[in-house]
Amino acid sequence: MGLGHFGGGAAAARWLAGQGAVVTVTDLADKTILASALESLALLPMNAVPIAAFHLGGHREEDFRQADLVVVNPAVRPQNPWLAIARQNGVRLTTEIDLFLGACPAAAIGVTGSNGKSTTSAMIAAILQAGGRRTWLGGNIGGSLLDHLDEIEPNDGVVLELSSFQLEYLRSETPVPHICVVTSFSPNHLDWHANMDEYASAKQVLLERQRPNDLAVLNTHDRRLASWGHLVRGRLLPLVADDMLPRLQVPGWHNRMNAACAATAALGAGCSRDAIDRGLQAFRGLPQRMQIVAEIKGRTFYNDSTSTTPESTIAALESVGKPTILLVGGHDKGFDFTEMIETIGRLTVGAAFFGEIGPKLHDRLQASHVDCVSIAMLKLDDALDWCWHISQPGDAIVLSPGCSSHDQFRNFRARGERFSELVGQLPPIDTVS
C-alpha cells in the first residue's frame, strides 16, 4: 500500500514476489507519477512470482479485506480508513523495514531522532568501513536493503536510519536492532502523530524492546533524552566525550554531538579508536545537509533542504560563521517557532520566508523589531531572487527551511534540487544592486 518514490515499496514488492507471494500493488497516485518506481518492478528476482495486480489511482476495498498481509508505506497514518478495513478483517500490517529486520542475518545498528539521524547513521557507516567491515547503510536515509538480503553476511555492518513513521508500525515480534541510537528529541511530525506522547512512544520502542545483551546510545546532551535512561532494557553506553573526537569536516556543535553518538555506537560494535578517528575525519557530510552548492561572486550558497524542524534551522545558522541570508518556510507541521525566530533575528542579516507558512513567520519576525531585513513570498524561486539581490560579497545564502516541503514540493529532495537548479540560473552580477 503506497508504492512511493524512495524505493522501499518497490523493494518490498520485489522481495515478497521472490519469496513466492502473490503481490498486489495499490497506490492513490497514477502510473505517470509512479513511472520510475513501476519501471524498477520490471526487475524481479529470478524465479519470482510476477506481480499479480497494479491498482493505481485509487484503492479497492477487497484488496484490504482479502489480503493475508498489507505492507504499508510509512507515510500512511495508522488511522487511515483502508487500514481500518484490514484490521477489521484480521489482516496483518507490516512495513518494508519490519520485513528487513525480521530477515536480516547481521546484527543491525538502528538510529533514530528528531534531528541528526541521517548524519549519525552515515558517520557510523563511515567508521565501520574505516575499520575494514563490509557495511550496508539503508532505511529512511534512502534505499531499501531488502534487495541485498541474500548478499548480507552475519559479520557485516548494517546501519539503519529509522523514522518515527517506520517505528510506529514495528510489530512486537520483530527484533529491534542490537545497537539502538537516539540522537535528539524535539517536537516533530505533529501533523502525523496525534500528540507529543505518541511521537515519543514511537521513538522509545527501540529502547523498550531491547534484549539484555543489546546496547543503547542516548545523546544525553539533549535535555529530554537525558531522562530516557530508565526505558533502556539493554545496556546504556556512556556517551564519548567531545575531547575524544577528532576534528571534523562538517561544522557545528550539533555535528559534534552526532559524531559522539556515532563513535559510541561504533565502540559498542567493536570498532577501534583508530577506525573511529579515520572514519569521522574522512566524513564530508551528506547531500542537502548544509551542502555548499556554489560560490558565486563572493556569495556561498548552502543547500540544507533536509532541515524540516526549527531545531535544524537553528543548528544550521549557528554553524555558518559568516553574514547569513536565510530562506525559510514551507508546510506548517504545528511547531513552536519562537526560538527559531529569535535566532533568525540574532544571526541573519536578511530572511526570505516562503511557502504556506511564510507570511505567518514573517509577521512574527517583524513583531520582534530586530535589525534584519525580511520579506514573505509564495515561491522559493522569488525568495532566492530577493536574497541574491540584497546580498553582498562574503555573505552566505542558506536554504534551511525548518518546515516540511509538502506545500509545494513532493519531498525535501525535490525542494533542494530546485534550489540548486535556481542557483545555477541566477542573473549576472551586474544586475544585482
CATH number, residue 409: 3.90.190.20
Q: What is the DSSP string of 253-311?
A: HHHHHHHHHHHHHHHHTT--HHHHHHHHHH----TTSSEEEEEETTEEEEE-TT--SHH
Q: How far apart (Å, rounded) are the C-alpha atoms in residues 358 and 408? A: 12
**Lowest-confidence range among 52-61, 157-166, 232-241?**
157-166
Q: What is the mean pLDDT of residues 14-22?
A: 95
Are 306 and 184 in the same domain? Answer: no
Are 130 and 236 in the same domain? Answer: yes
| pLDDT score for 431 | 46
**Phi-psi category of residue 142: left, alpha or beta, with phi > 0 → left and psi -120 to 50 → alpha:** left
Q: What is the mean pLDDT of residues 10-32?
A: 94
Last residue of a domain, one of 73, 94, 115: 94
Are 236 and 159 in the same domain? Answer: yes
pLDDT band at 188 (very low <50, low <70, confident <90, very high): low
Are 119 and 155 in the same domain? Answer: yes
Please report whether residue 431 resides in a domain: no
**What pTM value is reported for the model?**
0.83
Q: What is the mean pLDDT of residues 18-31?
A: 94
Q: What is the mean pLDDT of residues 320-337?
A: 91
pLDDT exceeds 70 at position 64: yes
Are 271 and 163 in the same domain? Answer: yes
Report the percent of the chain where pLDDT is more than 70.
96
| pLDDT score for 264 | 98
| pLDDT score for 140 | 85
pLDDT exceeds 80 at position 191: no
Q: How far apart (Å, rounded) are the C-alpha atoms in residues 203 and 207? A: 8
Q: How far apart (Å, rounded) are the C-alpha atoms in residues 116 and 261? A: 10
Q: What is the mean pLDDT of residues 211-229?
A: 94
Q: What is the DSSP string of 309-366?
A: SHHHHHHHHHHH-S-EEEEEE-B--S---HHHHHHHHHH-SEEEEESTTHHHHHHHHH
Q: What is the mean pLDDT of residues 313-325?
A: 92
| pLDDT score for 74 | 82
Q: What is the mean pLDDT of residues 39-55?
A: 89
Are 118 and 238 in the same domain? Answer: yes
DSSP summary character for residue 79 = T
Q: What is the mean pLDDT of residues 149-165?
A: 94
Which residue range is the domain that position 62 belongs to?
8-94
| pLDDT score for 432 | 46
Are 122 and 225 in the same domain? Answer: yes
| pLDDT score for 117 | 92
Give the number of domains in the chain.
Answer: 3
Q: How far apart (Å, rounded) are the C-alpha atoms in residues 294 and 354? A: 21
| pLDDT score for 332 | 85
Are 344 and 220 in the same domain? Answer: no
pLDDT band at 381 (very low <50, low <70, confident <90, very high): very high
Please report whether residue 432 resides in a domain: no
Cell output for 6: 524512495
Q: How far apart (Å, rounded) are the C-alpha atoms in residues 36 and 300? A: 33
pLDDT exceeds 90 at position 288: no
CB atoms within 10 A of CB 323: 15
pLDDT exceeds 70 at position 157: yes
CB atoms within 10 A of CB 67: 19
Please report whether residue 2 resides in a domain: no
Cβ atoms of residues 280 and 259 within 8 Å: yes
